[in-house]
Amino acid sequence: MTDYDGTLVPIRERPEYALPGPGLLSLLRRLANTSRVALAVISGRDADDLKKLIPVKGIYLAGCHGAEILFPGGERHTAVEIDKLSPVLEAVAAQARKCVSGREGFLVEKKRAAVALHYRMAGRTAALKALDGFETAVRPLAMEHGLEFVAGRMVLEVRPRGVNKGETVRRLMNLHPCCCPLYFGDDTTDEDAFRAVRENGLGVLVSGRGPVTAASHRLTGPHEVLRFLQIISA
């Protein structure tokens, strides 16, 4: 089980720039066809976005931290009511756009089950001011509709409370109880997943440096993740 951005591919300035190379797709196809391996990509991206980026049959694709899961057989499972949630998230996205209007370096990403405010290309002072204004404006709406704020790598996300990568990992572990669970991730949103596999498997933080983590192991970047996956696919 692995995150996408920052784990399988390097972090880019904008999400649409983080494309998989042919070598990665070939490796994932080989893993998907390995009988002793069950493969899942769990990301903050939309599940349909993952499907376009990773056109590989036979794997699980979990979008928005697990709010939606595309199963290998083609079924789609949702943990939230997308249709009811959509107008609320539209209001959240509108507030985000208002808070960053006229400011450079921000990106508001409206997803099917979350809204992400990216500030990777913004200055520190501008980012702090925009984030503070965004949280203040959206907090009443979040409390009313059961949403929560989640900080990631240069992004602040609003998503349904209780939807996280840890719960998604537990669900996949229950579907494959005979597998030894491995989870690779690079961000604070991956910590729930690290805690979920800690007792029976391995959590691998993909970062050369960082704060205290629930992961038991560490790799320095996506190139080392790909090398590890090449080894277990041999």
Of 3, 5, 186, 190, the catalytic one is 3
How many Å apart are CA 55 and CA 104, to the nearest integer? 34
Taken in order 19, 83, 159, 195, the sign of the CA dihedral is negative
Mapping DSSP to helix (H, G, I), strand (E, B) and coil, where does residue 76 land? strand
Burial zone of 228 (CB within 10 Å; 0-12 exposed, 13-18 middle, 19+ buried) = middle
Task: Decide if 74 contacts 101 (C-beta within 8 A).
Answer: no
Q: Name residues whose C-beta falls within 8 Å of residue 46's C-beta, 6 or more positions apart in sequence.
A: 63, 64, 68, 111, 112, 113
Active site annotation includes 3: yes
How many Å apart are CA 135 and CA 224, to the nearest integer? 36
Q: Which residues are catalytic?
A: 3
